[in-house]
Structure 1
Amino acid sequence: DERFALIAEWFDPQAAIVRRYQLLYHTADNTVEMFDLKNRRSFLRRTTVDNLKLADLFIGNTVNVLSRQLTFIDYGDDFTKRRLGQRTERTCALVKPAAFAKAGAILEAAQAAGLSVANLRMGRLDRSEALEFYREHEGKSFLPQLLGSITSGPILAIELMGPDAVQAWRSLIGPTDPARARQEAPTSLRARFGQDATNNAVHGSDSEASAARELGFFFPASGPARVANTSGGGEGCTCGLVKPHAVASGCLGQILSAIAEAGFSINAMAMFRLDKANAEEFLEVYKGVVAEYSSMVAELTSGPCVVLEIGGPGDVYKEFREFCGPADPEIGRHLRPRTLRARFGKDKVQNAVHCTDLPEDTQLEVQYFFEILDK
């Protein structure tokens, strides 16, 4: 039985203050203890928390413990820092405009290599933002081509985490020039999806210091994101949401690939961590209507979810609902086995994806995430 200690913060909405705790996690039986640091007393006796796993214990992560959204801000002792610090190195990955259509397959490859997605955000860089991001290349002859490429369409910025993440990701993407990559590392991402040395599909930080700077550029520690989301306001689109259990189980890349292969476009995408109030507000239409409402709220607050603005030809609302399939994945596996919920869902609550139920709510749901929560 190993015991890991972390310092966590929780915003108490009733008192409007941030409370700080020491959380102790026991690996043998998946139990948790919590101590109130200010009042120096026990807050939670040792109890089982099924949704909390060892992989969730990293600085900056937000987890749900008995309906409280806790954010880890520091290690609680040297043992925990030694054991978990190495395991949770982070790096910045970019899917470039020319390869954006393959974002799902690229995420699949990252997850298959043992890297987890800690954050992601779809955006579109203007020239000044691109210059700031690539400031280390200022004065170099290839910079104009690089700026033209990175500003030509949407990008997907991803925070990847795992053991030796910087080097692991760089090994996965391969040499800068896809032609060289196809000779030296034919299974690498640049060999598979790159066109030339400029449009080479993906970017990866070259050091821990670069990773910290680049992650700060796309995912600032406080305040709104500097790079605006790409939502068009939801008109003519619908909302899709990859639920926390599907993100945690490594299905995100496969789900995005399936959506693209079905002919839908992704107009905006971002990772969100919902607190209970946000989840209840978003799911309010189901309150008193479906028996699973409380469980649906608990699932949506159990970890990060990924929200999508889905576009496409025809009646996108109707076609995407049909593609998601029946709310009960078991029914879907019998009647419509190729739908998303049939393939990736577990039960009526953990059914992989949410889709808008009422046509008049499509734009409202998109705006709730990309115009309200995102700002």
Structure 2
Amino acid sequence: MGTKIFSIALVVAFAAILINTYMKNKGETRYIFHAEWYDPVSATIKKFHLSFFPRDKSVEMYDLRAQRLFLKRFQIEGIDERDLYLGNTIVILSRQLKITDYADATTREHISTRRQRTFAMVKPDAVHRLGEVIDIIQSRDFEVSQMKMVQLLRSQAAMFYREHEGRPFFEPLLDYVTSGAVVAMELITTDAVKRWRETLGPTDSEAARQDAPDTIRAKFGKDKQSNAAHGSDSDVSATREIEFFFPSSKMNNALVPETTAKFVNNTCCIIKPHAIAAGNLGGIIRAITEGGFDITALQMFRLDKIQAEEFLEVYKGVVNEYPGMVQQLIAGPSVALEIQSIHGAETPAKFREFVGPADPDVARELRPNSLRARFGEDKIKNALHCSDLPDDGVLEVEYFFKILQ
């Protein structure tokens, strides 16, 4: 049995090499990845070679188990070379494919150098400026691939900063980083570690204001300790720090910092995939906080079709846009927020008014300053979902910050 599996693996690897060699001889670039799709009908994980042709942004899929072509090459909207990195999920014909590995050395060499990961953390003193920080991140061509707001326990902070243990600033550092919520992020771009360190600026915020006034620490930091944000100093550190907050195995979940969700006097807001892809994540978060609302929990999710249908079930058979709403929620990463405000139990109604009518065209006529008027495109790509009723807010926040955890 083991010999047979090994032989199949060799055939698959050799096939990937032959395909790429053939395409090179034709003068066309082709990247090949291992990808997985969970088939809910058979309750099995199906594995494919996913090929991407950057010349015309077309894709092709080869079924590894059946050893036959599954999907003939065709052009598809919404998928770009920047979306092709390990761990990402892309949608092809309503199927969510998770990219698990490179299928050949050419793809690995090209993509891994251009799609490097690094870890970023917005510290307690700058969380209230999160929208502005994300604006800078997206303007520098970083992609936010994972993101969540957490509250660190002292023991967790000590583990995260363990390389500093024994130094004079270690205990004050733990006091500071556990004094409020932090927002952890995985960022991806070319030469990500170096570029994020440059974007942060010098450790001392005062020095940053003198030497690098356009950096994050210069704009949002206070001093050497309360310096707004953290960044990994190497590939090795980035891998460790990403794993700390976003573990690849459920075995590590017991150590993961918990959500900051309050689950009371709240409402739910979902920033939709198209708004994130358009670079509006920071602008929407900034608008929410400037509008007098508090973001008390935040996390990026990649919903599958079953989860999206479950979450939107109340709209099934009620609104004509339901199928499109489901497709939009699975089209890419979305960000779930728990919203609170000084309005207490009236928060859901106040926030819904702030978000505006479901149709952005109507919103632009009736409520031109609403979020959907500013960031929406049409009735499906209307930038945000928000809870309809007070009871819905509690249930929807629990869905994301309890059930999906």
Tell me if 1:79 matches 2:106. yes
- The separation in 1 between residues aligned to 2:170 and 2:311, in whole angstroms, is 44
Query: In the alignment, which of 263, 282, 292 is matched to residue 321 of structure 2?
Result: 292
Residue 83 of structure 1, CA deviation = 2.0
Corresponding residue of 2:21: none
Amino acid at match of 2:397: V
Tell me if 1:322 matches 2:353. yes
Amino acid at match of 2:238: A
Tell me if 1:308 matches 2:337. yes
Query: In the alignment, which of 203, 207, 222 is matched to residue 249 of structure 2?
Result: 222
Corresponding residue of 2:376: 345
- The separation in 2 between residues aligned to 1:26 and 1:336, in whole angstroms, is 43
Corresponding residue of 1:360: 391
- The separation in 2 between residues aligned to 1:357 and 1:122, in whole angstroms, is 24
- The separation in 1 between residues aligned to 2:189 and 2:369, in whole angstroms, is 32
SS in 1 for 2:117: strand
Corresponding residue of 1:11: 38
Runs of 4+ in structure 1 deviating by more than 6 angstroms, as ranges, are none
Amino acid at match of 2:361: E
Corresponding residue of 1:274: 303
Note the alpha carbon deviations across 1:201-227, whole angstroms, 9 max, x for none.
Answer: 100000111000000000000224711
- The farther-off stretch of 119-128 and 339-348 is 339-348
Residue 16 of structure 1, CA deviation = 2.2
Corresponding residue of 1:131: 158
Superposed, which structure 2 residues align to 1:167-316 within 5 Å? Answer: 167-223=194-250, 224=253, 226-233=256-263, 235-314=264-343, 315-316=346-347
Note the alpha carbon deviations across 1:278-320, whole angstroms, 9 max, x for none.
Answer: 0000000100011111111011011110000000011211111
- The separation in 1 between residues aligned to 2:358 and 2:42, in whole angstroms, is 38
Assess if the C-alpha contact under 8 Å between 2:358 and 2:372 holds in 1.
Answer: yes
- The separation in 2 between residues aligned to 1:25 and 1:326, in whole angstroms, is 39
Residue 180 of structure 1, CA deviation = 0.7
Corresponding residue of 2:15: none
- The farther-off stretch of 43-52 and 153-162 is 43-52
C-alpha RMSD of the superposition? 1.2
Identity of aligned pairs, percent?
Answer: 50
Which is richer in helix? 2
Assess if the C-alpha contact under 8 Å between 2:349 and 2:389 holds in 1.
Answer: no
SS in 1 for 2:259: coil
Corresponding residue of 2:173: 146
- The farther-off stretch of 116-125 and 326-335 is 326-335
Tell me if 1:57 matches 2:84. yes
Assess if the C-alpha contact under 8 Å between 2:116 and 2:190 holds in 1.
Answer: yes
Residue 339 of structure 1, CA deviation = 1.2
SS in 1 for 2:369: coil
Assess if the C-alpha contact under 8 Å between 2:118 and 2:242 holds in 1.
Answer: yes
Amino acid at match of 2:287: A
Note the alpha carbon deviations across 1:157-194, whole angstroms, 9 max, x for none.
Answer: 01010011111111011101111111101111111111
Note the alpha carbon deviations across 1:66-103, whole angstroms, 9 max, x for none.
Answer: 11111001112222222211111111101000111001
Superposed, which structure 2 residues align to 1:103-122 within 5 Å? Answer: 103-122=130-149
- The separation in 1 between residues aligned to 2:31 and 2:363, in whole angstroms, is 40
- The separation in 2 between residues aligned to 1:242 and 1:300, in whole angstroms, is 9
SS in 2 for 1:369: helix
SS in 1 for 2:227: coil
- The separation in 1 between residues aligned to 2:102 and 2:168, in whole angstroms, is 44
- The separation in 2 between residues aligned to 1:200 and 1:72, in whole angstroms, is 35
Note the alpha carbon deviations across 1:121-140, whole angstroms, 9 max, x for none.
Answer: 10000110000000010111
Residue 359 of structure 1, CA deviation = 2.5
In the superposition, the TM-score normalised over structure 1's length comes to 0.97
Amino acid at match of 1:373: L
- The separation in 2 between residues aligned to 1:81 and 1:248, in whole angstroms, is 25
- The farther-off stretch of 81-90 and 46-55 is 46-55
In the superposition, the TM-score normalised over structure 2's length comes to 0.90
Amino acid at match of 2:327: A
Residue 29 of structure 1, CA deviation = 2.9
Corresponding residue of 1:334: 365
Corresponding residue of 1:99: 126
Corresponding residue of 2:24: none
Gaps of 5+ in 1: none
- The separation in 2 between residues aligned to 1:246 and 1:307, in whole angstroms, is 13
Residue 360 of structure 1, CA deviation = 2.1
- The separation in 1 between residues aligned to 2:361 and 2:38, in whole angstroms, is 38
Amino acid at match of 1:92: F
Query: In the alignment, which of 83, 86, 93 is matched to residue 66 of structure 1?
Result: 93
